Every structure is written in C-alpha cells, then in structure tokens.
Structure 1
Amino acid sequence: MQRKVIIAGGGTGGHIFPAIAIANALKKIQPDIDILFVGAVGKMEMEKVPQAGYPIKGLEIAGFNRSNIFKNILLPFKIWKSLRQAKNILAEFKPDAVVGVGGYASFPMLRRAQKNGIPTLIQEQNSFAGKTNKILGKKAKKICVAYDGMDKFFPADKIVFTGNPVRNNITQSAVTKEDALQHFGLSSQKQTIFAVGGSLGAKSINEALQPLLPTLVQKDLQLIWQTGKPYYETAKAAAAPYSSHIKVHEFINVMDFAYKAADVVLSRAGALAIAELCVVKKPVIFVPYPFAAEDHQTSNAMNLVNKKAGLMIKNDEVGAQLSGVLFSLLQNRALMEQLEKNIGELGNPNADMVIAKEVMSIF
C-alpha cells in the first residue's frame, strides 16, 4: 500500500537540508512513498526543495517580527489564512503522517493535521525548543531530538534521541585532506582555518576576522573564508594582498572539502552546523548568533562547551577575543585533539535513517 507523507517547514538551510535528508531516507526504506513538502511562500525552500526533486506547496505565513512590531499587524490574518491553506492541502493530499522540521510552515500544517487526527512527528533540532514546537509536542506521536534534557520541553515518553540529519555529501564524503587543500589552492604544510557563518554569512565573525588577516599571514596560517553575500566584496578587497594564504568565497557548495581542509573551524551554532561538525570531527570555536529565537544558538553551543567538545566566544566579544582564542588553540595540539575526540562522539551519521524509521512507525 502506497504511503503518503507531508514534510513541513523551512526558512533556512538549517531546516531545509535535514528535511531533504529525511525525505531521501524515507525513499530508501519505501521507494514508492509519496512525499509532499510544504513551505512558506518566498522562502528558500521554494527553490531548494524542487532542486532536490520533490514537489512543494507554499503557505502564506510569516513569523513574529521582533525588530519591526508594525509588521505584525497582518500576522493573525496570515496565520488564519495559512491554517485554511493547510486544511485544503490535507484534504487534497490525504497524508498518512505529517512531519514538522521547524520554520514558519511547520506550525499551521501540524496544527491542522493534529486537529484532523493525522499522526504527526516533530524533528526538534535545537537544544532549546521554540514556543510553537512546545505547543505541537503535546499532541505529536513522536519527537525526535538531538540533545539531552529535552524532557523540560516535551512529554518524556514521546522523545526519541536521534541526532540531527546531515547531508549525504558530508556523511559519505571520500575526499582526502590533500585533495581538499588542493581544491582551494592551499598548502598542505600550513595550518588551515575555515570560517563559516551559515548560508547568509555572519557579520560579527567577518568583522572580527578582517583586522586579523595580516597576523594570519605573518604566522603562516591559511584561511578559507565563507563570507555570505553582504560581506563578500569587502572581504575580497581586504584579502587581495594575501591571496596565497586567504581564500574568500561568498558561498561554498562543497562543504565536505572545506571541512576536510580545516584544522580549526570558526562557526555559528545553528543545529545543522553543529550536526555536521560532530560528523566531520573538527575542533571548533562557536560564535552563536544571539538574535535567534529564544537565543537557542547559545544554548546549542553551551551544550558542547560543557562536554569539552567545543569552545565559545560571545557574539559581542568576538572582536576583542578572537585572536587570543584562535591563535592559542592552533598552538595547543593536546586541546585540539581533545575537542576533536569529544565532538566526534556526539555525531550520528545515520540520523536521517533513524528518523525515517520513526516516521514509518507512526502510520
């Protein structure tokens, strides 16, 4: 009997890539399964999901705007409208289960499905659950989590510890360090830093790195710098005199190469970034984005810092502290090895399959 599943959510790569990984794993288990994605109109998923080969429908929904309160005037209307759209999608597609991965579209779809008695599963990526997932968790059949202590947000009997799904091109990458360094035009004789701020870049990380460029070169260190679009031209100009040591990219598609080339990673603390770093086993300095909902990035990073599986610098202190923390870490072989070992123990390269099996179990 052919099964049908809706996967709802998106907004950022951090929600979309795990969702696609779950869909691919469901297809491996049951090749004829019918999967429909539901996202938010105008968001990244409307482009990325069709590229991955899946159909998607968009809801007209937006989140609460924390920076401009006036933009929230239409929010109740948008929520009402998106709930109606969700009702129509359910009536038309008739899914056996609905999976929520977080992001705006997740709430109306799961809320409606629960009202209609359709089994739902939540994939909670962060160590601090958002308000909507806490509401949805009461009626969800299963809640797949990646951090311990989640019973303070959800009913303990519904929690399944699965880890966060990571893209196949990272979990199954066969690239060698030599190949990776060559790809970026770097030397295998020098230590390499990889700085990444998520798909849109990270202003504070970029601004803290720029004045350090001459020192990096002086210390004969190499940098792979993913800046994101807004900072790309500035960074390119700043790095121009040091092009042998510093490689600036607006966006890196071959993340497995960048991770493999790196001795140390400087990163935001989104759930997807952390899941990838655990799988690739790299010493990392986290600079959490402090304006994420409920400041969940700080909570994610602290979870690793407490296990001696990462270092952390606060966003507003990165300008003052980065050089000290970064250069002393690169000189401390023992600390690098300890961080590498501890973060590696937290990785789960098969999380997508584990979650897919949980989805199959709620039909």
Structure 2
Amino acid sequence: MGVTESRVRSVSVVLAGGGTAGHIEPAMAVADALRSIDPHVRITALGTERGLETKLIPERGYPLKLIPPVPLPRKASRQMFGLPRRVRQAVKQTRAILDEVEADVIIGFGGYVSLPAYLAAGPGLLRRRQRIPIVVHEANASAGLANKVGARRASRVLTAFPESGLPNGEVVGIPVRAAITGLDRGALRAKARESFGLDPEATTLLVFGGSQGARSLNDAVSAAAPDLAAAGIGVLHAHGPKNSLEVPAVDVGPPYVAVPYLSRMDLAYAAADAVVCRSGAMTVAEVSAVGLPAVYVPLPHGNGEQELNARPVVAAGGGIVVSDGDLSRDRVVDTIIPMLQDKDRLRRMSENAADAGHRSAAAQVAKIVMDVARGDRA
C-alpha cells in the first residue's frame, strides 16, 4: 500500500468492551458518536461467545469479532495456573484481528475482552507500524485490573471519576447513547405513560434492578404497594425476567405496573418522576443524564464500587443512597414516599442530577479516539 493510498484510507477503530452491559453500552455509544464524526470510519468490536455482546452489538449494526475469554481470578485459585496459556491464545487471535482490520487505534472499556487487546497492541509482523495506540476508558470509581494494565501503555486515559486509581486520567464521564442524552422526558411523558398503562397525572416511581432484577428492591417496594397507592403514587416496576413479583391487591389509587423487563428505557425514564435502582456505573450515568431524582441501592457485593459510583450525584443533591440491608417496606414508607410527595424537592433533585451528568461524554471520547488515530497513523 502506497503512502498516498494509506493517508486516504478510512480510520479503523477497534472497540474492546464486551462481557456486561456496563462495558458494552459505553462502547456502542462511542461507536455511534464516531460515525457522527466520520461516516466512513471502520469500527470493529471485540467480544467473546460468553458475553451479552453476541446479541447487543450485532443489533446495533456493528461487526463483532470473537476471541477466547480471559477471566481474571480475583484471588489465588487453580485457574491461575492456566492463565498464561489462555492469555497467550487470546492475544494471538486478537493480534490477527488487529492486522486483518488494519487497526489505527484501540479503545478499551475494561473487562476480560480488553486485556488481550491491550497486550496485542504491541509490535506485529504484518503491521504497518511498531504499535497500535490505545485509549482507555474507565467507567467505575475504582479501576479494574485490565484497565490498570492498559493505562500503562495508553496514549490517553479517560475516566468517569477523578480518583479512579489510573495515572494521568482525564475526567470525561460515561458515554451514554443519544436516545438517552437527547431525551425530552416532558414531551414524551404522555405517550410513555399510556404505553405502560400508567396513570397520566400521578407522580410515578420507576423501579429496576438491572437486566436481571434485584430481589431486595422487588420485595421492599412491592410490599409498600398499598402505601404508595394511598399516597397517590403510581409505580412502574421491572422485576427481572427470572423473578416473579407478588404485589398486594390495591383497590384504589394509581396502578402498580409490574413487567419482567424494560426494552425501552427511554420510555421508562420519560414516564417516571423518580427512580429506585442499583448504582452500577452505566445506570448512574443514564439516570443522571436524564435528570431523574434517584434512590440508589448499591449492590452489597464486590469492592463497594457501586456506592462510589453514586457519590458524585448524591453529593450534588441529585439522589440519596440506601444500603441494601436497610431497604424495606418501612424505609419506602418513611423515606421514599415523603420524597415523592415533595414536588419542590423533586424539582431540585432533578436539576442537580442533570448538572452532575456528562451528556456530551460520548462525543468527547469519540473525538479523542479520532485525534489519537489520526495523530499516530503512518
């Protein structure tokens, strides 16, 4: 390939962010933003056959290349002995993909797909350059191992929080898809409430615990159904496809609508005046981007990162945190219902939540990725 031809070749971007929706959704938001900047950009997503990416990424219209999964053990175990072999195999296959698509830049979002991509970005026999530049994006308040490795090799390190544990981090927020950042909740509210069978006028609480639901949220809020109805509060509750929900019979008041899953989160957000939810990084980013007051109930497992994710929004006055162990029917009655009945408080919380969000994160990350790609191209 001649020099002139290589300079007009479209930019090739490789996204490494499979596994969970928390890695995939920011990657897809950046992919959309990249196409807005340059419709000719070539985008390739890396994933494994285990993750949600096998469904979510093709649905968004992006090509997906599969590599072997390299789950990193959190503590010493027998899995550690086979780790070097698995890493070598994944890196070899990833390197072949990078050469095939003539990658100009890799952007990694953490997780077990990112580590092989970071390691494969070094010199390759078929490559036009000595290395492929890396951009790292860390969505969580506490960085994972893969991104800690990637940050050492990265041209730019982007974070959602000031103290992520990564060196030279630039705070940009979490990329969120345009359907959410551009959502006009007021304009869509009537349609949204009609689509779910909600009361068109009642203050409405949205409850969801991620794609699989959360039993503690399900039990506490459903037990308070009579109290919520008596207070004039409607509920839209996504309990998870594998869970069932027993809602006490209520004869008067706004309806309590229970669904297994929400395929249109934009409509759910538009229907709601406030939300009870977990505080995964992506959830916090979306809820704050649309300006919804939130009661965050951090997942009680892991290293406590979910509570850290919620802290900036809570500190700004856009939400409150209730621990998983403290969430109960009584807590709903004593804390959440009074909050929902205070219109002025909800308005202030909504404004504060929106101010704490990063609506332009996807566009900002995409611009940085293109700058790195074009700056390092041969």
Q: Same fold (TM over 0.5)?
A: yes
User: 1:149 aligns to what?
Assistant: 163
Deviation digits for residues 220-270 of structure 1 (CA, Å, limit 9, x no counterpart):
321100111121xx21x4367679611111111211111111111011111
For normalisation by structure 2, the TM-score amounts to 0.87
Identity among equivalent pairs (%): 30
Residue 47 (structure 2) pairs with residue 33 (structure 1): no
Q: Structure 1 residues 68 and 51, CA, compared in 2 at 3 Å: closer, same or farther? A: farther
User: 1:213 aligns to what?
Assistant: 225
Name the SS of the counterpart of 1:200 in structure 2. Answer: coil
Name the SS of the counterpart of 2:153 in structure 1. Answer: coil
User: 1:171 aligns to what?
Assistant: 181
Residue 346 of structure 1 deviates from its aligned partner by: 1.7
Deviation digits for residues 256-292 of structure 1 (CA, Å, limit 9, x no counterpart):
1111111110111111111111221111000111324
Name the SS of the counterpart of 1:238 in structure 2. Answer: coil
Q: Contact between 2:314 and 2:320, CA under 8 Å: does it hold in 1? A: yes
Which sits farther off after the overlay, 74-83 or 94-103? 74-83
Total equivalences in the alignment: 355
C-alpha separation in 2, matches of 1:141 and 1:160: 12
User: 2:338 aligns to what?
Assistant: 328
Match of 2:285 among 275, 278, 292: 275
User: 2:240 aligns to what?
Assistant: 228
Q: Contact between 1:114 and 1:140, CA under 8 Å: does it hold in 2? A: no
User: For residues 188-337 of structure 1, what are the structure 2 equivalents within 5 Å?
Assistant: 188-231=200-243, 234-235=244-245, 237-238=246-247, 245-292=255-302, 294-319=303-328, 321-337=331-347
Residue 141 of structure 1 deviates from its aligned partner by: 0.7
Match of 1:11 among 1, 7, 19: 19
Which sits farther off after the overlay, 197-206 or 60-69? 60-69
Q: Structure 1 residues 35 and 291, CA, compared in 2 at 3 Å: closer, same or farther? A: same
Question: What amino acid is the match of 2:150?
Answer: L
Q: Structure 1 residues 115 and 130, CA, compared in 2 at 3 Å: closer, same or farther? A: farther
C-alpha separation in 1, matches of 2:333 and 2:242: 23
C-alpha separation in 2, matches of 1:331 and 1:278: 20
Question: What amino acid is the match of 1:58?
Answer: L
C-alpha separation in 2, matches of 1:104 and 1:42: 11
Residue 134 of structure 1 deviates from its aligned partner by: 1.8
Task: Structure 2: state its 5+ residue gaps.
Answer: 1-7, 125-130, 374-378
Residue 197 of structure 1 deviates from its aligned partner by: 1.1
C-alpha separation in 2, matches of 1:75 and 1:323: 50
Q: Contact between 1:165 and 1:350, CA under 8 Å: does it hold in 2? A: yes
Q: Structure 1 residues 241 and 51, CA, compared in 2 at 3 Å: closer, same or farther? A: same
Q: Contact between 2:34 and 2:366, CA under 8 Å: does it hold in 1? A: yes
Residue 198 (structure 2) pairs with residue 186 (structure 1): yes
Residue 92 of structure 1 deviates from its aligned partner by: 2.3
For normalisation by structure 1, the TM-score amounts to 0.90
C-alpha separation in 2, matches of 1:256 and 1:239: 28
C-alpha separation in 2, matches of 1:57 and 1:360: 21
Which sits farther off after the overlay, 137-146 or 86-95? 86-95
Q: Structure 1 residues 341 and 173, CA, compared in 2 at 3 Å: closer, same or farther? A: closer
Residue 162 of structure 1 deviates from its aligned partner by: 1.9
C-alpha separation in 1, matches of 2:263 and 2:153: 38
User: 2:115 aligns to what?
Assistant: 107
Q: Contact between 1:9 and 1:15, CA under 8 Å: does it hold in 2? A: yes
Q: Structure 1 residues 194 and 103, CA, compared in 2 at 3 Å: closer, same or farther? A: same
Match of 1:347 among 333, 346, 357: 357
Q: Contact between 1:18 and 1:167, CA under 8 Å: does it hold in 2? A: yes
Residue 215 of structure 1 deviates from its aligned partner by: 2.0
Q: CA RMSD in A?
A: 2.3
Q: Structure 1 residues 96 and 275, CA, compared in 2 at 3 Å: closer, same or farther? A: same
Question: What amino acid is the match of 1:281?
Answer: G
Residue 75 of structure 1 deviates from its aligned partner by: 4.1
User: 1:140 aligns to what?
Assistant: 154
User: 1:124 aligns to what?
Assistant: 138
Bigger radius of gyration: 2
Q: Contact between 2:109 and 2:147, CA under 8 Å: does it hold in 1? A: no
C-alpha separation in 1, matches of 2:294 and 2:94: 40
Q: Contact between 2:288 and 2:313, CA under 8 Å: does it hold in 1? A: no
C-alpha separation in 2, matches of 1:70 and 1:287: 34
User: For residues 81-92 of structure 1, what are the structure 2 equivalents within 5 Å?
Assistant: 81-92=89-100
Question: What amino acid is the match of 1:223?
Answer: V
Residue 104 of structure 1 deviates from its aligned partner by: 1.3
Residue 371 (structure 2) pairs with residue 361 (structure 1): yes
C-alpha separation in 1, matches of 2:371 and 2:74: 38
C-alpha separation in 2, matches of 1:302 and 1:204: 21
C-alpha separation in 2, matches of 1:201 and 1:285: 16
Residue 186 of structure 1 deviates from its aligned partner by: 1.4
